[in-house]
Amino acid sequence: MALKVELKPGERFILGESVITNDSQRTRLFIEGTTPILREKDILLPENARTPCERIYVVIQTMYLSADPKAQHAAYFELVKDVVRAAPSALPYIEAVNNEILTGSLYKALKKTQALIAYERELLDHAKCGTGVR
């Protein structure tokens, strides 16, 4: 079963180690195979990762696109350790991400990390307001 990717004019995506940019019209592609694909909306550039959980996302993104994802494990676990130490309530989110990484489902790990980032944002917003969370 092929993956259907619909691109807006000028939209980009990563296919393996290549960046593909759509021309000036809407395009539909059908992609078969196991090469990692990441749409522009799901890409977080390292220089834009401002929070610890966003940095976790970047590391998992690198794992997903890499031929050797295990090369990023040390960086990932160091960041996770720091997040759990600072916000123990984030542990259920971290465990969900860990489970996907350990089973090799790195795209799913990225999606679960988006929930972790949303939770981090919630914690930071509550900290700014001086209110507790969960």
pLDDT confidence of 55, banded at 50, 70, 90? Answer: very high
Read off the tokens for 51. 């929070």
Query: Domain total for the chain?
Result: 2
60-97: pLDDT as tens digits? 999 999 989 999 999 999 999 999 999 999 999 999 99
79 falls within a domain: yes
Mean residue pLDDT of the chain comes to 92
109 falls within a domain: yes
Same domain, 113 and 56: yes
Same domain, 112 and 89: yes
pLDDT value, residue 134: 54
Same domain, 19 and 82: no
Residues in the chain: 134
Same domain, 19 and 54: no
Same domain, 8 and 60: no
Same domain, 54 and 109: yes
pLDDT confidence of 57, banded at 50, 70, 90? Answer: very high
List the one residue out of 86, 108, 104 whose CA is nearest residue 96. Answer: 108
99 falls within a domain: yes
Angstrom CA distances, 7 to 12, 15, 40, 123, stand at 8, 13, 10, 34
Same domain, 112 and 66: yes
pTM to 2 decimal places: 0.88
Same domain, 104 and 58: yes
Domain span at 48:
44-129
Same domain, 21 and 50: no
**Cβ partners under 8 Å of residue 97, min gap 6:** 56, 60, 109, 112, 113, 116
